[in-house]
Structure 1
Amino acid sequence: MGRYILKRLLLIVPTLLGITVVTFAIIQLAPGNPALLKVQMSRQGGVGDQAVAQAIVEQTRKLYGLDKPLPVRYWIWLKRVVTLDFGNSYKDHRPVMDKILEVLPVTLQLSVLSIFLSYLIAIPIGVYSAVRQDSLWDRAATIVLFVLYSLPNFWVATLLIVYLGGGDYLDLFPVYGLSSFDAERWPFWRWLADRLWHLVLPVGCLTYGGLASLSRYMRAGMIEVIRQDYILTARAKGLSEKAVVFKHALRNSVIPIVTFLAFLLPAMIGGSVIVESIFSVPGMGKLGFEAVLSRDYPVIMAIATISALLTLVGMLLSDILYVLVDPRISFERL
């Protein structure tokens, strides 16, 4: 196991390096740049002379190192990233790592909670749908889950705000931020309840899509397993349906959705960009969205790199869980 994990960790390095090369090139070659944006802001402030504007562009390009060739810029960035130095933000000149560390726990909190709820709800729905295959419940659940999967989260977030967050209908949940005013001074349990109350809507928006996918994977895996010969043998021996399902069938049918974890984590992080922006949650998604609008290259690269690293780690964890769940698979075969 240790040898396999070491090998996978070594493979993460060139994979992450390739991702950063492509991402860096796309960002640097995209239309628009911080220098032109700064000129536009200066003109709004009253600077209209063309020569002054051009001087601002040149100074900004030299300040940010944009006057150097693209490979040189990447090499400078890579040498700094090795020491966990992502540079300073173009927007407020704060260290990017400090800004990331402030918001990363919020995004991880949303993602982990959403993944936990997705698995917690999807597994029972998938199992029950498989056991009651083609029943009224199974067909109704299939329709509802496919509808949920097809709904974009920004549209669902808007509906939740209108109907449940103080729009024209019910005022049940807060629609922005993570806590109420002055909540830091409250007792712990009151603060925790307030935090969870603020997380209901954003976590709900991040959960329903993964829930729909996971339940379908769980149903398909369960149907395949309960048709196996050893399940028929267990039933022939007189075991109860509960024992057959939960003791013999469930463990093997869980395998497909365990591997799905590697894809669910980056999907949650990607979805947090829209959800955090709509609900004004100070997370990494909202920070990335604002960085794109302001052409803040160091912040964009830092978020892309960390997201890629979390995705690769998630894939490694899914492989490890795959072996732990299925004793027929060994690390030597992977």
Structure 2
Amino acid sequence: MCKSLRHVHAIDAFDWISSKLLATLWAVRDYFIRRFLLFIPTLLVITMIVFGVSRIAPGGPLEQAMMEAQMVSMEGGGGRAEGAALSEEQLEQMKELYGYDKPVHVAYLVWLGVMPRELNRRDVDFIDGRTNLVVRMRVPTFHVSDLDWNEDGFVQLSEVPKSVASYVKFEQLDTNGDGLLDGWEAEAEAATIERAREPVEVELVDGQPRIANAGENMVDWKVRQVESAEEMKDVPRAELYRTRYAGVFQGDLGKSFRHGEPVMDVMAQRLPVSTFYGVLTFIFTFLVCVPLGIAKAMKHNTWFDNGSSVFIFMGYAVPGYVLGALMMVFLAARLEWFPTGGFVGPHYESTPIENVSVTADSSEWLGKNHGLRDGQHVWLEGDLPRAEPALEKEAAYVVARKSQDAFELLPEAGTPPILIKANAGKVELRRHTTAMERAWDLAWHAVLPLLCYLVGSFAFVTMLMKNHLMDNLSADYMRTAIAKGVPFSQAVRRHALRNSLIPLATNIGHQITLFVAGSFLIETIFDINGFGLLGFKSVLDRDIPVVMGIFLLSATLMLLGNIISDILVALVDPRVRFD
């Protein structure tokens, strides 16, 4: 009967909260419609400012590449200044790589995906009277006699097999030797044209090149002049490219300069780590600090209030990274109570089974104190012994015990056991960890970093709750409620506590950005590969695509957090009107 009543009360409470939330949202629907309409323009302005600053800030990726080339040139050429600079062609290639070959506003629109991005760009030359555009290529292990050659030693794309995967620029092809192309030096580039069945013909129209004759697979390619007609010397340079919309609106944030991977993949690898600590920090902060602030306000100037304030402000005075360094030295390195770093340990997914060996005089596996049980899945590492059928490291084996000190390995259920031959080498037997073991390993590694994340926000949220509750306890409506005979605890719960939650409601939405923010100092101390460390290294390396991706995600969460804060304020305080 009691369980049924509690179930009914829980359903009634859920229905009340749902109806209250819907009524609140309906009352302020016009305000939130305006907020959502301003969401996209605000996000565009934020990203536009960050993108512009990244382009004009000194020490960008282009300058860093030039400095690295200068250092290499000075080391290899005896420090001569004239050999330190990049050639014009190399500088042009660097600009294309880092997106500095276009104005800032055009590059920003390309990053957004509003304007098409130039893909598969290839530098090519005009030959034969500046009319034929020939794409020169590298064909591994392909015979020269099967290709169509020009008199000057260049290969035209008259017939290219499917195996050709790369088209590059050659300074000059050498026809001597064994007639194979795979040994020639070339500037390799990514795969582009898969098959062009006829040569690409280009003609000059009013000093501008255009494709006059192209293969069927090149109908969507374009050609542009790299240098103006006045700047062209003996052989004019042009560039083949094709376009595709690939930006934010298409879900493409570009490719990282430092990692060489798509930005989405780089961020996705680190998002679970930062989200894990961000969510736990958010939950523990409000679950602990709100009740603690209420208790301190109700017991103001008592030993509990004064004693807890000492520890709270001690934690607030010590920065999180300093506390992390101290705990790392004393609790992890010296006392070995906690691991010295990492998100999880090396034995998170698998752990070795102790005291298991293969003897040289027996065809049995001996497992003294091995702790194995029938049906347990294990797999092998190390030098595998000879067996029939052969053992595989990647395969999972099922244990079948023969006696107290011996067992067999079955590769699959219902198959004959594997017989180990004599004189076998040393083998490490491992087993899959259980869900409880993985949870314990994760929690064990998370204790110290989580304390560092929590130490700063504990004092702020606790004292914010205490001070506002004390102000409301001394308000006139509290004295009126008590004078009318309302019990003090009920008056606090219905009146003072609700009004004291308004400042916290405004702060909850802003805490959402902590889900992906992280702290590069804490992550560096504990060797955690999270968002904070990624953002810090990306700024140092001038990895603009990653920086823009992190700012885009952070700005989106910040704007969503502001809207969530407004919803919570309207839900807690019915007097609030968003007009």
How far apart are the structure 2 equivalents of 1:6 and 1:191? 45
Unaligned runs of 5+ in 1: none
Q: Is the 8 A contact 1:86 1:96 kept in 2?
A: yes
How far apart are the structure 1 equivalents of 2:503 and 2:346? 44
Q: Deviations over 1:74-96 (max 9, x none)?
A: 22212211222110000132110
Deviation (angstroms), 1:215: 0.8
How far apart are the structure 2 equivalents of 1:245 and 1:267? 31
Q: Which residue of 2 aligns with 1:315?
A: 562
Q: Which residue of 2 aligns with 1:8?
A: 35
Query: Aligned pair 1:109/2:276, yes or no?
Result: yes
Q: Determine helix, strand or coil for the equivalent of 1:183.
A: coil
Q: Determine helix, strand or coil for the equivalent of 1:54.
A: coil
Q: Deviations over 1:84-135 (max 9, x none)?
A: 2110000132110111122122212211110111111111221122112233
User: Higher strand proportion, which one?
Assistant: 2
- RMSD (CA atoms): 2.5
Higher mean displacement: 51-60 or 67-76: 51-60
How far apart are the structure 2 equivalents of 1:312 and 1:173? 38
After TM superposition, the structure 1 = structure 2 runs for residues 104-253 of structure 1, keeping only pairs within 5 Å, are 104-166=271-333, 168=334, 170-184=335-349, 185-253=432-500
How far apart are the structure 2 equivalents of 1:29 and 1:151? 37
Q: Determine helix, strand or coil for the equivalent of 1:23.
A: helix
Q: Is the 8 A contact 1:122 1:215 kept in 2?
A: yes
Q: Which of 86, 97, 119 is the matching residue for 1:54?
A: 86
User: Higher helix proportion, which one?
Assistant: 1
Q: Deviations over 1:161-198 (max 9, x none)?
A: 112222x3x22222322111131242112111211221
Deviation (angstroms), 1:58: 4.0
Q: Which residue of 2 aligns with 1:21?
A: 48
Q: Which residue of 1 aligns with 2:124?
A: none
After TM superposition, the structure 1 = structure 2 runs for residues 271-286 of structure 1, keeping only pairs within 5 Å, are 271-286=518-533
How far apart are the structure 1 equivalents of 2:328 and 2:76? 41
Q: Is the 8 A contact 1:34 1:296 kept in 2?
A: yes
Q: Is the 8 A contact 1:115 1:210 kept in 2?
A: no
Q: Which residue of 2 aligns with 1:326?
A: 573
Q: Deviations over 1:275-326 (max 9, x none)?
A: 2232221222121122122211100110011111111111111111112222
| Aligned residue type for 1:264 | Q
How far apart are the structure 2 equivalents of 1:258 and 1:16? 23
Deviation (angstroms), 1:270: 4.0
Q: Which residue of 2 aligns with 1:71?
A: 105
Query: Aligned pair 1:305/2:552, yes or no?
Result: yes
Q: Is the 8 A contact 1:23 1:301 kept in 2?
A: yes
What is the percentage of aligned positions where both structures have the same residue?
36
The number of aligned residues is 330
Deviation (angstroms), 1:15: 1.3
TM-score (norm 1): 0.89
Q: Which residue of 1 aligns with 2:60?
A: 33
Q: Is the 8 A contact 2:518 2:530 kept in 1?
A: no
Q: Determine helix, strand or coil for the equivalent of 1:165.
A: helix
Point out the structure with max Rg over C-alpha: 2
Unaligned runs of 5+ in 2: 1-24, 114-246, 350-431
Higher mean displacement: 267-276 or 125-134: 267-276
TM-score (norm 2): 0.53
How far apart are the structure 2 equivalents of 1:8 and 1:233? 39
| Aligned residue type for 1:64 | Y
Q: Which of 233, 251, 264 is the matching residue for 1:84?
A: 251
Q: Is the 8 A contact 1:34 1:294 kept in 2?
A: yes
Q: Is the 8 A contact 2:257 2:545 kept in 1?
A: yes
How far apart are the structure 2 equivalents of 1:39 and 1:271? 32
How far apart are the structure 1 equivalents of 2:38 and 2:316? 33
